[in-house]
Amino acid sequence: MRTLILILLVLLAGCSVEKRAQKKVAWLLAKDVMDDACARLYPVRDSVVVRDSLHFDTLYVENETYIRDTVVREGQTVYIEKKCPPHQVITKTVTRDSFIYRTNTADVERLKGEVLAVQKQLVEKDGIIINQQKNLDKDNWWKVACIVTWCGVLLGFVFRFFVVKKPI
């Protein structure tokens, strides 16, 4: 009878903790302060990244002007007329872009917990694999014994047939 009462007390005590937590969550939701509590614990962080990019364009503008010159040398007149080379215009365009990245820290913390759980599982599996390999290394004595035995039998047959030359 005592064990039955003890089991009932343990079950009721275990359920009371969960019920208290459910009451607190219900109270927070009713008072509409759950969002504030979560926002204080896990604020959203903004990161602003500014990126500049430069673009260069070269334009050639044709000229309609001519260079004219007259040279007089030893009684002869030489007329020189040449078209001007095109003008080169370089334009530089600067564009500035801003990116805002929002980080949900609650989700980041949840994912960190999942990563730690997976890493713990991997460590446990690695430990199991290492133990199995150690056990396999201990159990290899019979393989060595089989190999030595077969080599001995083979050497016995070779010695009997080729060295002593007696049939069986």
For the chain, the domains span: 1-41, 42-164
Spatial neighbors of 43 by CB under 8 A, at least 6 apart, are 105
Predicted local distance difference test score (pLDDT) of residue 112: 92
Kindly give, in sequence order, each residue whose CB lies less than 8 Å from that of residue 137, ignoring residues fewer than 6 positions away.
none
CA distances from 73 to 70, 78, 81, 82 (A): 10, 8, 17, 19
- pLDDT value at position 137? 67
What's the pLDDT score for residue 11?
Answer: 62
Listed in sequence order, the residues at least 6 apart from 104 whose beta carbon sits closer than 8 Å to its beta carbon are 42, 44
Rounded Cα gap, residues 137 and 91, in angstroms = 74
Mean pLDDT, 10 residues at a time, over the chain (168 residues)? 67 68 77 72 82 77 73 78 74 82 84 93 91 75 86 88 70
Question: Cα 116 from chain centroid?
Answer: 15
| 3-class SS of residue 33 | coil
Q: What pLDDT does 57 receive?
A: 77
